[in-house]
Every structure is written in structure tokens, then in C-alpha cells.
Structure 1
């Protein structure tokens, strides 16, 4: 397999970012809430968000659509359906629209468009015809969360936990955990009247609080975040009259530029079905890494 092919393999690791942006920057899988009266809820942003967390977290699936930009590294758009009843499953259509990743994909003959299918223990990505021509005719790469965690260290372990416990109400939990949340007011979101809430989240502190990383992993994660220039994020959410999340944005700074994510949620309760790609059309990510290491060793 050509080196350029294996180099392009690394691009699809960022497919995780497409779904991570759907989830916000972390949270536990606790679906607790309270039963405060609506009169109290509307007057107090914290109480209101507890109600939103309970209502949105109590749903099982939704349609999602959005965009993600990570500095000069990549920009992408994504749309699909996700179910979070038992881990996270679903299908997303993802298109890289700019950045160094999109450039590298074009250089390798790719279009920048791919489909990702998410399962409880990992996800698979259809890399398209250009990749298949260099990979023995196989279109799909299979990524196990456990394998990615080993390769990426603490950030990989945090991503693994987040992906396996993700729900749309994580943005709500982020704001609640931050202790910094305010009600902005009523705004229109795609024709729906929604209440806008905003706050600032300390990414490392929130991830540490809501993950099950040990002390060494937390230290490593903080260093990785610091190296990337990621410290705080502004999280904004919009909630409809039924206390369901309809939009979420995250904004922050990285060393490579701005981090900016916008996600829209709709059709709660929609039916989600996802099939494993054919085994004979799939190559495992760990096998590609071994091939790359072997090629590098041979070249040396």
C-alpha cells in the first residue's frame, strides 16, 4: 500500500470530531434531574437547564446537522441520525470542506465526502473509491474506540468514554457543571421560538470531573490540551418550548486557529438503524497502522 494511502488514513480519525461536536465537550451518563414546578423553572436559568437536561436526556434519538471547524486543520459539515439508548449508534454523512485535511484528501484523489457508521464499541468510515484503489478494493476502515484510546493516550481514552456515553444533553450538562450560565433571551432557530442560554466552560476541568481517567491520564490530557492551545470554550444552547435542545454552538481558540462548532437537533424519537459494513469490504485501522510502521521500517 502506498504511503500516501496510509497518510490519508489518519484523516478519518477526525471523523470522531464530527460526533464529538454533537456531544459537546464531555459529560457523565447520569440522567438525573428534578421535578421543580414550571413557574420556578422559567425564572431560574439553572433550574430551567435541569429541566432541559432531564427532558432532552430522556429522549432516545434525533436527527443532527451541523458544521465543525478546527483551526487550519479542518472544516467539515455533517448530517445524520443518532440513537443513544445503549451507547451511541447512528449514521453520519460527513464532508471535509477546507483545511489541511481536505487538501490532503484531494491530493490523494478523494472527494472529501464520506459516510461514518457509529456503533457501541467503535465506528466505520467509507473512504471512497480513491482509497479502495490503494487498499485492495476495500472501501471501509473500522476503528475500535479501545484501539484509538491506546494510540492517542489520555485524549483517546477521554474520547472513548465520551463517545460511548454521549447524548445531545451533554451541552446542557457542560453549562450546569461550569457554574457560569446566563439566560440570553428568546430567539428564532429555523422557524422555532427558542430560549438561548450561554456560558463558559473550562475544558480540562470539565473533562476531568466527568471522565474516569486516573491521575496520570488526567495530567497527560491537560498537557495535550495545553499543547493544542485549548483552555476554555463558550457554549451556547437554544431550547424549544418543550424543553428540548434545538441548537448548540461551541467556540474557542486553538494554536492552529479558531474552534467553532454548530449543531442543530430535530425529529426527536426518529427511527435509527445502522448496519455493519461488509467484512470483505473493510480493513481494520490497527492493521493499516502496522502496515505503515512496517513500510517505515523497511524504508529505514
Structure 2
């Protein structure tokens, strides 16, 4: 198999799991509007949401993601963020050029496991047969830069920031954060907040430098918070070297138990090993 085929699949996995997010419609129209002069009140509400969502520690996630014309996908599973990011998602590729690459390798969906050292992606039998016989590809967090330069770094940061409390933190950095109004999301009454943060204003130095390296100058965030101060929906939009990155995510079952096993070592290879193998012509 040509190296570019495997490399394309690797990029599809990383980019697809990035989780930087998009539009989507709300489940009901706003019933009340507030001006930017209510910034201080919105900040107080968002601080409460940040604390409540952080304390909950885990949730069930459903998301749709698009990366320009490269890929679109859905993801579903559970994530926990109390001590680093852990969890399991099922990723289904629904369109785009990289999805075509994945389908050519016999993979239309896969299982992704998030662990403190790395995340792991289980590929299909056809992929394994052409890539050393192992099904699981390991992506250590600190090696993502080497996969795709700035885009790889951005993907890694977005994966680690896929939890709902992180979206609140990002929204708090927005100069124009505002309460949009009361809206119904999947049957629940929520308050909708929106804002656009300038990356240069972020207090998190590592995140700021990663986003700047990827060519991201602003990121727009919308969240919907229920009456328990928990984020039940988030929408994010950003533009990087790879194009527009969009996602809509829904969160439910806060506090759910999340248990993740590391894939068997005998059936796992790192993406470095995979690319080295293909580069040698094996």
C-alpha cells in the first residue's frame, strides 16, 4: 500500500477527532434578548456553569463535526475530565475527501479511546492487513505536532479541550460575551450565551501559542446552559490552515461512570511506527 494512503488515513483520524466545532440550529427560538451591557451578569452565570460542569466530571456526548471539504463525521460516547481526558467515542465518517480515503481502507467508523498518555483509534481489518497487521493506532499527545505541523498541534489541543467546561472557559475570554436569551434544547429550558474570543487575549499561554501556530486568530463559541448550571449544548467555529472547523455537541447524563481500558499492546502501533513502516516501503 502506498505511504500516502496510510498517511491520509492517519490525518483523517486526527483531524476528525479534533472536535473543533460548528453551527447547527437550536431547538427553539430565543424568548428574551440582552445587550452587551449585561456582560458582568453573563460572566457570573458563566462562572457558575464553569464550576458546575467541571465538578460533574463526566457526561455522555453526541457531536457532528466538519473540517472544510475534507471530512464530516458524527461521534457518540462518554468522556470524563476530572483527571485528564478519558473516555470512548464511536466515530462515523459521513463525507469529505478524507472520508473517501478511510472508506478505501475499509473503515467507515471506528472506536476512539482517550487515555492520559495518548488517544487510540481502532481501524478496520483491511487497514490492519495493509499496515503491519495491527488494528489500534496510538497518538501520544506530545507527538501530534509531528503528524501535521500546526494543524496537528491544533487537532491535539482541540481533542484535549473537547469537554464542556473548557468551552465555558474559552467563552469567558470573549470581549463580546452576552446572554442571547432563553431557548429550549431537547425539551429542556436553557439560557443561550454567545461570544467570539481573540486568541491573543487567552490567558492560557500553551493554548494561545498552539492556536496562533495553526493560524487561528478568533474562535466563536455558543453554549446552552440548563437550570442546574450544566452545559447541554455547545457550538464552536474556527478557521485554521485546514479550512473552517465546525462542530455542534450535546451533553447529557452528567456524572455517568466512564471506564476505559488501554488496547492490547500486541495489537497496537504508534503513528510514528506506522509512517516509518510505510516510508520504508513495507
Is it true that 1:12 corresponds to 2:13 in the alignment?
yes
Q: Structure 2 CA distance, aligned partners of 1:131 and 1:279?
A: 17
d(CA) in 1 for partners of 2:244, 2:161: 26
1:147 aligns with 2:143: yes
Number of the residue aligned with 2:214: 224
Is 2:73 aligned against 1:79? no
Check conservation: 1:66, 1:78, Cα contact below 8 A: yes
Q: Which structure dedicates a bigger proportion of its chain to helix?
A: 1
Distance 1:248 1:280, change over 3 A: same
Alpha-carbon distance change, 223 to 164 in structure 1, aligned in 2, over 3 angstroms: closer
> Aligned runs of 1:25-44 on 2, under 5 Å?
44=41
Alignment check: 8 A CA contact 1:155 1:221 kept: no
Shift of residue 9, structure 1, vs aligned partner:
2.7
Structure 2 CA distance, aligned partners of 1:156 and 1:137?
25
Gaps of 5+ in 2: 23-37
- Provide the secondary structure at the position in 2 that maps to 1:148: helix
Contact 1:237 1:245 survives alignment (8 Å): yes
Distance 2:68 2:150 in 1: 22
TM-score by length of 2: 0.83
**C-alpha RMSD of the superposition:** 2.8
The residue aligned with 1:103 is 100
Shift of 1:137: 2.8
**Structure 1 unaligned blocks of 5 or more:** 23-40
* Residue of 43, 49, 52 corresponding to 1:52: 49
**Aligned ranges for residues 207-246 of structure 1 at < 5 Å?**
209-212=203-206, 218=209, 222-225=212-215, 230-246=216-232
Q: Does 138-147 or 246-255 show the bigger shift? A: 246-255
Partner residue, 2:124: 128
Deviation (angstroms), 1:125: 0.4
Cα 1:163–1:264 change in 2 (3 A) is: same
Write the distance in 2 (CA, Å) between the matches of 1:267 and 1:134: 39
- Structure showing greater relative contact order (alpha-carbon pairs closer than 8 Å, 6 or more residues apart): 2
Question: How far 1:211 moved relative to its partner?
Answer: 3.2
Separation of aligned partners in 2, 1:53 and 1:199: 15
**1 CA distance for matches of 2:7 and 2:256?**
37
Q: Matches of 1:135 and 1:192 in 2, distance apart?
A: 46
